[in-house]
Structure 1
């Protein structure tokens, strides 16, 4: 069971890395004290996520079947209540949230296309302007339009500068466009989370 949770956490990290709404995150960041009947217990969330809005979010990753355990459900509710008192959002993500397909496979595909070279904000803005001037584009035609710049359209999608429909299989024929702030098309880790 632990290996399964670790793989879920790795998949969540892919999503966090690709979400423009996420400024930073860290694993097992802090210990939190919460009341549990007559005892004070400690809990360490799987992730602390800092959103670009400045809001913090603690995330627990659990396989769905573990949530039906009454003891785990009671513990998670006690933690949620304590964090709510501290004005910190708390979400429990399951396999269904994290491994929603084809979204997760699309993110993985984009990562393979994007490469590992770092991209500055200035370079990304330059790429966005070039695509705006020569569009509309598919991922393939955007790749050709960016030739010689060191940019790939996949990195612009992952940075939230460009957008495409991640709820359908992504390929070089997938249309892309410049993302609009707060657009419903911007990448979301989970529709349930709303960011």
Structure 2
């Protein structure tokens, strides 16, 4: 969906800023043009996420393999985007609610807290806002999400408004996420699976060879841990099953 962009006023007496909260609860405001990835070192989410009985958005904390820590989210849709970010080999850092943006837009000052900031392995940064597709039909919401994009892209960073992904892809990533954390599967089992699995093996064939007479359930976690890590890949556009073809990373 294309949203109307409301340009951020340039050359105003007060420039756009990003306010960042740190672990000691101090807050530092940085002129946006001076903002760098390192500005977020030691930072914490701008808002505290609290869950309550009857809360419609289901907030929580996600144990990320990428950050090796907890990342907060405020809805199930945000959790879905977090899972995909954690699975993405290009993403090397994830920050939730990284800052509060302040900029002069349409003659008045506006505030906005992005949902996520993703640090990419090539050094780039992507700011992500998560919103259901039907909410983007509201012109006020579309405009409120558009001006931060002008600001972010004008800074040379990437900007994304995310409303969901293919349900089969999400279901597969949720399934694989059970094997994302170090120590869930012994390292020696993963190393053995990597030695045994051949490029082009269907999952059941690879499991039988690796099991060598043992129950395949004993060896399946090691194969799936390799898929989560990206060393093995499968077609995620269809449900993972015994016929899924495994491909070794180059």
TM-score for both structures, normalised by structure 1: 0.75
CA distance in 2, matches of 1:17, 1:59: 14
* Partner in structure 2 of residue 92 of structure 1: 161
Q: Select between 100-109 and 54-63 the one with higher mean Cα deviation.
A: 100-109
User: 2:126·2:159 contact (CA, 8 Å) conserved in 1?
Assistant: yes
Match of 1:160 in 2: 230
Aligned to 1:77: 146
In 1, Cα distance between equivalents of 2:90 and 2:192: 21
Q: Give 1:17's aligned residue.
A: 86
Residue deviations 1:127-164 (CA, integer Å, cap 9, x gap): 434424xx542223333455588961111111111111
1:141 aligns with 2:205: yes
Counterpart Cα distance in 2 of 1:139 and 1:35: 55
Structure 1 or 2, whichever has the larger Rg, is 2
- Please tell me the root mean square deviation across aligned C-alpha atoms, in Å: 2.9
Task: Identify the residue that residue 106 of structure 1 maps to in structure 2.
Answer: 172
- Counterpart for residue 169 of structure 1: 239
Structure 2 gap segments, 5+ residues each: 1-54, 59-73, 212-217
Comparing both chains, which one has the higher relative contact order based on Cα–Cα distances under 8 Å and sequence gaps of 6 or more? Answer: 1
- Give the Cα–Cα distance (whole angstroms) in 2 for the partners of residues 38 and 115 of structure 1: 47
8 Å Cα contact 2:180-2:229 kept in structure 1? no
Gaps of 5+ in 1: 181-195
- Give the structure with the larger helix fraction: 1
